[in-house]
Structure 1
Amino acid sequence: MRSLFLLLLCLCCQCFSSLAQNNILKGTGSVSFAANGPLNLIKATSPSAGGFIDTRTGKIRFEAASASFQFAISLMQERFNDKYMQSSRHPRATFVGELVGVTLPLQEITQEVMAKGILTIHGIPQKRTIKGTLTRHGDALQLVADFAVNLQDHAIEAPKLTSGVAAENINVLVDMLLQPASKPVAQRQVTLHARRSPK
């Protein structure tokens, strides 16, 4: 009788675990950024970034390892890690928050969304509201978000471009495909492209 009870308990736990996993959509991929300036020279790409959305609560989290960003110019990569980001002290950039004003599953194929949360870069958290879109692809969601990062907000020294002008703003575009966590997730691309910094 005791063995039967333990077996039923294990089955129930597995069932609840499966239901919880079904609420989670996960994605992995790459992330890149660039600082717009006269020559648009400050560019980097990280092959490792990840995120998830809880479709039941609307909670989201995205992150990328600071030291994983790779530059075409090795000297810039060294300065990025040692001088600007201090990657050994601040190993990750993260956004943690939740979707607001949207009900999941989506009522339309593509829908504008807004996320409120905390963006932490260089160890400095900032409250942010980031707008974007979610698009349904079967049981997966594609997230696209365009936003700017002010380096001063995160106590990052603005790197000087060849013109001598400091790159104070980094504009990024995030594109990530998130799939049910209960399924094997192939590596996906997350691309952050620089946009013209607002004047």
Structure 2
Amino acid sequence: MQPLPSPPDSASYWDRSNHWLRTSIMLKIMVIGVLVLILLIPTAMLESLIREREQTRNEATAEVSAKWGGEQIIGGPVLSVPYLTAVKDEKGNTQSVTAYAHFLPDDLQVDGDMQPEQRNRGIFVVMLYNTRLTLRGTFKKPSAAALGVAPGAYQWDKAFLSVGVSDMKGIRNAIQFRINGQTVAAQPGIPSSDILASGVSAPIALNAD
């Protein structure tokens, strides 16, 4: 493609301006830059709208979770037996304190049924999941000698079973333990947080023999 010839010196101002507009590289670059900026405006508006919708969606999810409970982590069951042990304080004095021996079940079976439930918040849909869990396990009689603790130090009558629940707000029905054929209502809280930070527990008196 041949470049356009320059207008003669006798050409009018408008002719020379028209020739410059058609041949100026700088002008073409400026026009392209303006077009790019114009195209960026709707892109920025779209990104802003997406961020706003994401924030609103997260707020809706947080609102529902605050009422129904968040993600649940279930731990255990754990059998815990308190025992007395001697420790020295900073001054070298010996004190008797309570520690805990924890035991996991020899076998564990978990059965569950999960049911989805939908909640609407504005234009957003938040999915909830209701789960009914049944945990079955068997424990062997704890061996005092295996832990290197004096048999007389164990407080067998203060033993307890515990199940960890990360968010107690999400519990809708009462939790029950069935121990040796007997149903025992679980109580909120765990006497020891060595293994499980939060959850429910129930006392289980063990024989020293």
Q: Please report the TM-score for the alignment, with normalisation by the length of structure 2.
A: 0.29
Higher helix share: 2
Looking at CA atoms only, which structure, 1 or 2, has the larger radius of gyration?
2
The structure showing larger relative contact order (alpha-carbon pairs under 8 Å, at least 6 residues apart) is 1
Higher strand share: 1
